[in-house]
Structure 1
Amino acid sequence: MGWVATRRGASNLAVAGAAGAAHPPPDPSLEREGGVIALLTALSIRNVVLIEALDLEFGAGLSVLTGETGAGKSILLDSLGLALGARADSGLVRNGEAQASVIATFDPPTGDHRAAALLIDNGVEMEPGEPLIIRRMVKADGGSRAFVNDQPCSAALLRELGGSLVEIHGQHDDRGLLNARGHRALLDAYGRCDTGAVGTAHSAWRKAAAALAEARATVETAARDRDYLAHAVEELRSFAPEPGEEAALAEERATMQKGARLTDDLTTISECLTGSDGGLAQLRQAARRLDRIAGEEPLLTAVLEALDRAVVEAGEAEDRLAEAAEALSFDPARLDSIETRLFDLRGLARKHQVQPDDLAALCEEMAAKLAAIEGGEEHIAALETEVATKAAAYRAAAQALSGERQLAAGRLDAAVAGELAPLKLDAARFRTVVAPLDEGQWTGQGMDRVEFEISTNPGAPFAPLIKIASGGELSRFILALKVALAEQGGADTLIFDEIDRGVGGAVASAIGERLARLAQSNQILVVTHSPQVAARGAGHLLIAKSSDGTVTRTGVHALDDQERREEIARMLSGAEITAEARAQADRLLETL
């Protein structure tokens, strides 16, 4: 069968065994800027170490997990960690089984939730309103597979996605608030420091700097060719090539060369036709004589007519011969000049590896490059001025942001300090370090390095959290920070593993009060041995181990009000529950 644990009429969580049916609780939502937060709603575990089959459902608020030492609380957390991207160890597979599996179900991340962005960036499809389901399987012979909404998922994406949804704080925690890389964003969220202006200024500065670098590289490359370009432009401009010039010169030279070959023949032909002894003169003389005697004989008239036609044709031939001689006449000096220019024109074309007709355009192109080189220094000076202006704007915006961060750091330090004493950390000191970065490390997020540091004892130096605190002390520091930061970033579901280790009484009560306060904006799961903390939960899970003599199993039971009273009494008194322990349990529950 299944069980439902209730408190003050509000169902918070449910649990079912392999044969039982889960009772889904109502899901009071928690709101944050950017959308409804993505709560862990269900956890299904199969064949993980001592857990054969277990289905858990969770709601908003504070849920506590209790049980005897060795009952298997760590197995439950290991199972969840496996679903969130922890190392897949085949030792987690229950003895005799082929594989273990864990399914974690979350509310769909919406708005600007980091998990939503990760899903989009990695092409993981989600139907609107559908839950986010992460499934991880580990084989007994090694190897594992992960799926997000039934789509295969890499281990790297699973770790990043899990970190955006759940933070597990315990003795071996090295993520979440202990990761200094996220401290700057947390401080900015806490102080409501707007990095938009800095990001815009940084982008403009980098863009101007890139343009300057490109211009310098262009001028530097072109400057190496300055002398060559200057010489080439001067040479081409002096020569003044024109498109079509090669064809015109070649045609003129061919005509002159033809005239040189035909000159002697034309002169001989002209001498045969013209002059006092030329053929044309002889024809004319013959025609005059024939004209005087043509009347003596009718046949001579026909001869005269033919001779007159010959004189006319010979005259025309003489005229055409003169025209041809004129056309084919040439000046040897001109021919030599044409041949020299044609040779030089073709030589320049070969030198510059272009066609002769393209030399004029090449000259203009080279002249433009030379002008760019000569004007490059002026252009670079203008770009340098622009870069300096943009850099100054970025520095001003980043310095203003640094000032905001310093003020926010002071407020955060005071807020955390107010939380330390009630948590039995009154000798410790906390500080938020806002230190300048080297210029090469400046980004669109500013020019500051932000890190949370603590000193655990008077006179002890400050150092990062992870290097000083340990165990329950570390968890209490995390709790103090989380309470101070309240809704400012981080995962929506926080799990604290034995945060009350080594403390009791008033300190345990203070821990419980702060967990309950934090649960107003986050979903909180806490593994605890403290009755004061357990009494604060909106829901209570009891983890217990059972054996039938051959097989040992870990089970989880959601407690109702009466069962919860008994469990808190057990935590107060030990193995034997006394009436006094039950009365004390009632007082703890009634005062909350």
Structure 2
Amino acid sequence: MIRELFVRDLAIITELVLPLESGMTALTGETGAGKSILVDALGLVLGDRGDVTLIRHGQERAEVGAVFEIRAHEPLFAWLRARDLEQGEECVLRRILNREGRSRAYINGRPVPIQVLREVGRYLVEIYGQHAHQSLLHSGGQRALLDAYGAHNLLLKEWDNAYQRWQQLSQELETLTQAASEQTARLELLRYQVEELEVFRPEPGELEQLEQEQQQLAHGTELVQGVESALDLLYQNEQGAIYVLLGQVARQLAQLRVIDPNLNAPLELVESAAIQVEEAASGLRHYLEAVEIDPEQLKWVEDRLSGFYELARKHRMEPEELPALAERLASELRDLETLDVRLGKRQEEFATASKECRTLAANLSEARRKAATKLEQGVTEAMQSLAMPGGCFKVVLSPLKEGEFSAHGAEQVQFQVSANPGQPPGPLSKVASGGELSRIGLAIQVLTFQYGGVSTLVFDEVDVGIGGAVAETVGARLRELGEYRQVLCVTHLPQVAAQAHAQIQVSKSHHEKVSAVELTLLDKEKRVEEIARMLGGKKITERSRAHAREMLEMARRKSKGNSPHRLS
């Protein structure tokens, strides 16, 4: 529910903060005072299209914010968590319009696209009136409302599982069928490629080993000559070998350390160097024994490398990727050779899944027809007492084509209405006026409130073209809803306003030729004065005050004794 609405520099609103409570709240005031602007502001913060003409004259930007209490609203919590937007038990929305036409949106302080603002709005508020922000006008919202009214949760869960399986098998079957249509040509190519690669048999890591071996074989003579020269310098030259010279140095230092023991450390290093030189010489001799100058092996290695490079060019890849390619193509060949078997198995599984979907879709359709009949009767009956005598409400279920399914079943749902006798029913969004749409929405909400839905309902123009007993009925229905939902109602009728749990007066003030909107939460006596004004115009009499008190007392008595379920 909305805890607070903040508006700055929007239309004739300079700045206002509107705290709200649970129950039914009536917004009243003179015509043109700015009541519907508050509904427009709420629509903006819920993602409605922004217009720079809404920005207050002389200002560069307009801002609207709303704080929602979302305690115990698990679907919304899950939605926020999935987008990393969760912030405790509150959801704070913010919208900014500027003169350049740019619009910025925020959820819990995080910038988001306007579309995301619209998505979160569907969890929070339903607006009835001349506003686009209402799911009642959209097929998806109508279907969801019918399913909630019919308590189809179990059927929908079964359908979702079956549909997901059906859709997965449908996609797999399409892929296999496409592969089967190309099977012959692909098999011929694959068999040739796999056979070629199997003959060549590239091994992982082989290319690197071949390149290293080729380097050694191609420079065999150079390696032998170089190693022999190094061995001669280190050890084998009897006159100038490093090992011989180190031996001479060691003997000299051994004689001198008798005179100065400080030469012990240098002597040990020289002796150690001589040992390492001897070990290096031994390693070089072993290397010379192992190294081969083999022209035939060199030719084989170079041919093998040429094979790697040629196959890599043919398959347009790096040579080291050939082993993985060979494995992948062999796997694809095995799959294609067993394609007919797998295709037949998928066709059987798909037929079984389709049969299950047809059964579940039929069950869901039947349940929807029963719920639709009951909802039609209830809404049509309510319309008779809501200034639409002779009107009727219809729920049309339009089947999809044979064998087609959607994520929501096998039909589309559309609400249709005829607001006047003799007129054929038409789509709700096209044939109902703003006031009629509000009253139809009211009738539907009264019938369905116990089945869930958003916690805040806004009714604008619900009382257009009505009065007397009808207005009292409308007010009573709104108050009834207010026991279970937060209800905001913009009204000109005292019969409606008197039914509210709380009343806010919207007025326009003028200061230095500048108009501004002011809000006043009315106490008991001020409510009497405002309802008396609504009853008798500008001139308020004791008789109109007495009538106002009587209306408020009657509304209080009617609701007394009910078990309230208001949000807290």
Mark yes or no: TM-score above 0.5: yes
Distance 1:585 1:438 in 2: 58
SS at match of 2:6: strand
Summarize the alignment of residues 535-574 of structure 1 with structure 2, pairs less than 5 Å apart. Answer: 535-548=498-511, 550-574=513-537
Structure 1 residue 441, shift from structure 2 partner: 5.2
* Residue in 2 that maps onto 1:459: 422
The gaps in structure 1 that reach 5 residues or longer are: 1-38, 244-345, 355-361
Kept in 2, the 8 Å contact 1:200–1:444? The answer is no
Q: Does 1:87 align with 2:49?
A: yes
Kept in 1, the 8 Å contact 2:127–2:133? The answer is no
SS at match of 1:543: strand
Distance 1:145 1:363 in 2: 54
* Residue in 2 that maps onto 1:216: 177
Structure 1 residue 242, shift from structure 2 partner: 12
Return the match for 2:4 from 42, 54, 66: 42
Return the match for 2:352 from 369, 373, 389: 389
Summarize the alignment of residues 259-274 of structure 1 with structure 2, pairs less than 5 Å apart. Answer: none
Distance 2:193 2:413 in 1: 59
Structure 1 residue 494, shift from structure 2 partner: 1.1
Structure 1 residue 233, shift from structure 2 partner: 10
Distance 1:235 1:558 in 2: 87
Kept in 2, the 8 Å contact 1:133–1:148? The answer is yes
* Residue in 2 that maps onto 1:261: none
Pair 572,228 (structure 1): closer, same or farther in 2 beyond 3 Å: closer
Structure 1 residue 563, shift from structure 2 partner: 0.7
Kept in 2, the 8 Å contact 1:452–1:465? The answer is yes
Higher alpha-carbon deviation: 397-406 or 227-236: 227-236
1:150 partner letter: G
TM-score by length of 1: 0.68
Q: Does 1:123 align with 2:84?
A: yes
Distance 1:392 1:511 in 2: 48
Q: Does 1:477 align with 2:411?
A: no
Distance 1:87 1:209 in 2: 39
Kept in 1, the 8 Å contact 2:139–2:412? The answer is no
Structure 1 residue 69, shift from structure 2 partner: 0.6
Return the match for 1:169 from 128, 150, 162: 128
Structure 1 residue 564, shift from structure 2 partner: 0.3
Summarize the alignment of residues 96-245 of structure 1 with structure 2, pairs less than 5 Å apart. Answer: 96-108=58-70, 110-114=72-76, 116-126=77-87, 128-129=88-89, 131-140=90-99, 142-173=101-132, 175-193=134-152, 194=154, 195-226=156-187
Matched-pair identity in %: 39
Distance 1:69 1:86 in 2: 24
1:180 partner letter: S
Distance 1:86 1:236 in 2: 62
SS at match of 1:113: helix
Higher alpha-carbon deviation: 403-412 or 440-449: 440-449
Structure 1 residue 479, shift from structure 2 partner: 1.2
Kept in 1, the 8 Å contact 2:48–2:132? The answer is no
Distance 1:546 1:522 in 2: 32
- Number of residue pairs matched? 443
Pair 112,448 (structure 1): closer, same or farther in 2 beyond 3 Å: farther
The gaps in structure 2 that reach 5 residues or longer are: 203-303, 313-324, 556-568
* Residue in 1 that maps onto 2:541: 578
2:495 partner letter: Q
Distance 1:234 1:141 in 2: 67
Summarize the alignment of residues 161-560 of structure 1 with structure 2, pairs less than 5 Å apart. Answer: 161-173=120-132, 175-193=134-152, 194=154, 195-226=156-187, 375-438=338-401, 442-548=405-511, 550-560=513-523
How big is each residue's C-alpha offset from its partner over 1:475-533, in whole Å with a ceiling of 9 and x where there is no partner?
11121122122233443211111211111111001100111111122110001011110
Higher alpha-carbon deviation: 529-538 or 374-383: 374-383
How big is each residue's C-alpha offset from its partner over 1:272-324, in whole Å with a ceiling of 9 and x where there is no partner?
xxxxxxxxxxxxxxxxxxxxxxxxxxxxxxxxxxxxxxxxxxxxxxxxxxxxx
Q: Does 1:63 align with 2:25?
A: yes
Kept in 1, the 8 Å contact 2:383–2:391? The answer is yes
Pair 69,385 (structure 1): closer, same or farther in 2 beyond 3 Å: same
SS at match of 2:492: coil
1:382 partner letter: K
Distance 1:572 1:86 in 2: 34
Higher alpha-carbon deviation: 504-513 or 137-146: 137-146
CA RMSD between the two structures? 3.5
